[in-house]
Amino acid sequence: MPVAMVIGIVLHKWVGELQFLSPWLIAAMLFITFTKVKMKELRLQKIHAGQLAFQLFVSVALYLLLNALGVNEVISQGVMLCVFMPAAMASVVIGSMLGANAGTMTTFTLLSNMAVAVTAPVLFSFVGTNTELPFLTSFWMVLRRLLLLVVTPFALAVLMEKFAPKAYDYVHRHQQWSFYLWVASLVILMGSTTNFILAQPSDAILTEVILALSAGVICVAQFRLGRLWGIKCGDPVAGGQSLGQKNTLLAILLAQSYLNPLSSVAPAAYIVWQNLFNSWQLSRYKDNKKE
């Protein structure tokens, strides 16, 4: 992942021009990931209710609080995104390596992404850059994108499992494809984000630094709060990983499309913070196992 980020930043002039491919790459990645989920394994639990409530309500509450305090609108949007963005599909992999229940995490990952697909059109209709448009028009603009990104891949995976089981099993056995699609998406999005940042006037540097530092604070806080909630529900690793590891690629795409594009610096920085945190967790876990 660090290599992908470096490539995106260094080659930003070229890879940034491929941004139009990002939605298709993300949709394909999600489709492949959804094929490893068996519907009968998905069960709603107490831990999911707390995580989802935090994701949806705390994100909006932070945005409203920062606005009430007179904080820059871009920073308010960036902070909101760091909490609102859904759980990453890769969180199931990392969580499983750390000893979490894969079924618990998979259920929340699907629930979290579907919740964003349903609520983002409403939220961005009021918060986004197109608030001057009629509500239904703005709502449909966001919903249409999320139908492609999240809902359609899930529906296709469910239909393929039922009507084309051989093709479903073939895709299921090649989960590594989603990794390469993820890396390609990351390269492109880092390139387009770098292009955007470099195009900003020098007076935006302070805002960018605040967004990056805010993302770091929120990242650590979400891992910690999620773990505390997980302890109460019997799976601390699943709680921390599901709440802390975010689908940042989707967040960057939505920010650049429907919010102030500069707010995408927050989820872009979150990519770095969450992977540093994951590296630290895995290192500690391996050291503890050796002991």
pLDDT tens-place string over residues 11-64: 988 998 888 887 788 788 778 877 876 666 667 888 999 999 999 999 999 999
With a cut of 90, say whether residue 161 has pLDDT above it: no
The token pair at 154 is: 């899930």
Percentage of residues of the chain with pLDDT beyond 70: 89
The token pair at 15 is: 């890879």
Question: What does the alpha-carbon distance between residue 44 and residue 158 come to, in Å, rounded to a whole number?
Answer: 18
For residue 212, give its domain range. Answer: 2-290
When divided into structural domains, the chain yields a total of 1
Q: What is the pLDDT of residues 77-115, one digit of tens each?
A: 999 999 999 898 777 767 777 877 777 887 888 888 888
CATH (domain of 224):
1.20.1530.20
How far apart, in Å, do the first and last CA atoms of the chain sit?
29
With a cut of 60, say whether residue 291 has pLDDT above it: no
pLDDT at 8: 86
Question: What does the alpha-carbon distance between residue 194 and residue 117 come to, in Å, rounded to a whole number?
Answer: 26
Average pLDDT, whole number, for the chain?
83
With a cut of 60, say whether residue 195 has pLDDT above it: yes
Question: What does the alpha-carbon distance between residue 267 and residue 289 come to, in Å, rounded to a whole number?
Answer: 32
Percentage of residues of the chain with pLDDT beyond 90: 29
Torsion of CA 24, 27, 28, 33, to 10 degrees: 160
The backbone region for 128, taken as left when phi is positive above 0, alpha when psi lies in -120 to 50, beta otherwise, is beta
